[in-house]
Amino acid sequence: MSDSAIQRALLSVFDKTGVVDLAQGLHQRGVELLSTGGTYKAIKDAGLPVIEVSDYTGFPEMMDGRVKTLHPKIHGGLLCLRDNDAHTGIAAEHDIGMIDLVVVNLYPFEETCNTPGASLADKIEKIDIGGPSMLRSAAKNHKFVTVVTEPGDYEQLLSEMDANDKATTMAFRQACARKVFRCTSRYDALIAEELLREAASEDASLLDNELLPEQCAIPLRKVQDLRYGENPHQAAAFYDIRLPGANCLSTAKQRNGKELSYNNIMDLDGAWELVKEFTTPSCAVIKHTNPCGCATADNQLDAFLKAYDGDPQAAFGSIISFNEELSADTANALAEPGRFVEAIIAPSFSDEAFEILTTKPKWKKNVRIIDAGGLSKIPADARYAKNVLGGLLLQSYDNTGWNADNLQVVTKRQPSEQELADLAFAWPIVKHLKSNAICLIKDGQLVGAGAGQMSRVNSSWIASELAGERAKGSVLASDAFFPFPDGVEAAAKAGVTAIVQPGGSKGDPAVIEEADKHDIAMVFTGERHFRH
């Protein structure tokens, strides 16, 4: 019989889905069963012969079950190299039998953390110790030991045994071992992140030191495979990094439409995070991660119409977001002839709006409807990741917005009340444009945007050209300082009357002088918003 033939198995699972059927299948194939706690009871109650681990080790469970499988008879039976005479001799000397199969899944730490009202003590109690230890021991010795941690693999396990005289193939054992180390690494990362959140709730300064620690594992969980990456020949998937309490894209639900692609996800994220910046009824229209339309109004329908009108040509095939439940009136306007939208995201959708979007001849099954489930802000411990080949860049999320108390009016003319309102609307929009970024706002409407240019003055020209006549009387936001007066000069020619920018350039005096020359009001925020 093969060294990897399964003659003795240890089953200890929190999620008991399918475990009794698996135990039945193993018993039918002549496998001796060891088990613990609730798993032991479930197997015994099913009328199957099973040995409790404490009887097998001759050592009782103790400390409320915290210590039960941490024993040489368990880990020796898992780690013993069956082709090493010294190992097998020691095992025989100490009456350590071989354990050929481990079936373990872990205490639900993440689920406990997600439970409202869960205390730190509750969370700590759900940190599994014995489970990961057995998994890692078995996975390390996968040359001889099979280890299974997902109920979805139970059927294949039995099929492998049937096809290989009670053994499993090396390929299967290797695949299972890889799953184990991915599972335990994410589990440990979740614990580290949650313990930091708990500590930071008492002392927020900890985030300054530990948000970007020396060693870091990001707890990734696949949300879904995507249709393709940035291009159809590239494979892609979407992963959740767990930001508890945040209504972000990884927790949103798709209720209608075709599968999402990588680019859809990127655009949806840009649309959703922008529209969350505002408290008044607002709408954002995103194309290639940049807002081509954005507006606020007294009601959602007017906000949508203004946003879409910002650049109707660019809005074709866009992603559209709302910061309120989508209404039937807005749904009817969205579905009017001549409009093509890739996806719509909102905190929720009224029943009537959902029916309109999914039954109109134009839309039906095609339009992607993304229900975000709420409108909560990104928490302070959020990190933003971007990759380079062979590496990952991590930074804290840019949560800062308009702060009227920090503004410095640097020109002779103060901004009017209307200009100030538009500047406040412009500032978070320019934060979501790719740098170098310029946006023009008029009466709560984005009328022109320039993004991703190699020089700031080019972005100013593009924004002004797109705005056309609507640039007259508009305000301008720049994500970083103007190094030279040429950007202000271009804005003045377009008809801009007020500007918000961070300031801080050596060229500030000349820039301010240019603004004064054209009677433009200018305010500095002291904070830039580069977005690469």
Which domains can be identified in the chain, with CATH numbers?
8-192 (3.40.50.1380), 246-371 (3.40.140.20), 404-524 (3.40.140.20)
User: From CA 366, how far away is CA 342, in angstroms rounded?
Assistant: 8
3-state secondary structure 372-418: CCCCCCCCCCCEEEEEECCEEEEEECCCCCCCHHHCEECCCCCCCHH
Query: What pTM was estimated for this model as a whole?
Result: 0.85
* Catalytic residue flag (residue 87): no
What is the pLDDT confidence band of residue 216, given thresholds at 50, 70 and 90? confident
Catalytic residue (choose from 41, 288, 360, 362): 288
Strand partners for 519? none
pLDDT greater than 90 at residue 213: no
Distances from the Cα of 429 to the Cα of 82, 295, 401, angstroms:
64, 10, 10
User: From CA 215, how far away is CA 483, in angstroms rounded?
Assistant: 38
pLDDT at 68: 75
pLDDT at 1: 59
Catalytic residue (choose from 41, 44, 140, 360): 140
pLDDT greater than 90 at residue 65: no
* Catalytic residue flag (residue 27): no
User: From CA 458, how far away is CA 437, in angstroms rounded?
Assistant: 10
Lowest mean pLDDT among 15-19, 44-48, 340-344, 358-362: 358-362
pLDDT at 207: 82
Mean pLDDT across 225-248: 88
pLDDT greater than 70 at residue 15: yes
In this predicted model, what pLDDT tens digit does every residue of 253-297 receive, in sequence order? 999 998 899 999 999 999 999 999 999 999 999 999 999 999 999
pLDDT greater than 80 at residue 41: yes
pLDDT at 24: 96
Strand partners for 35? 11, 52
Mean pLDDT across 331-347: 92
pLDDT greater than 90 at residue 173: yes
pLDDT greater than 80 at residue 363: no
495 Cβ contact partners less than 8 Å away, ≥ 6 residues apart: 471, 472, 473, 474
- Residue whose entry in the numeric block shows the structure tokens 């377009």: 494
In this predicted model, what pLDDT tens digit does every residue of 401-423 receive, in sequence order? 788 888 999 999 999 999 999 99
Residue 150 · residue 15 · CB < 8 Å: no
pLDDT greater than 70 at residue 204: yes
Mean pLDDT across 17-36: 95
Mean pLDDT across 439-453: 93
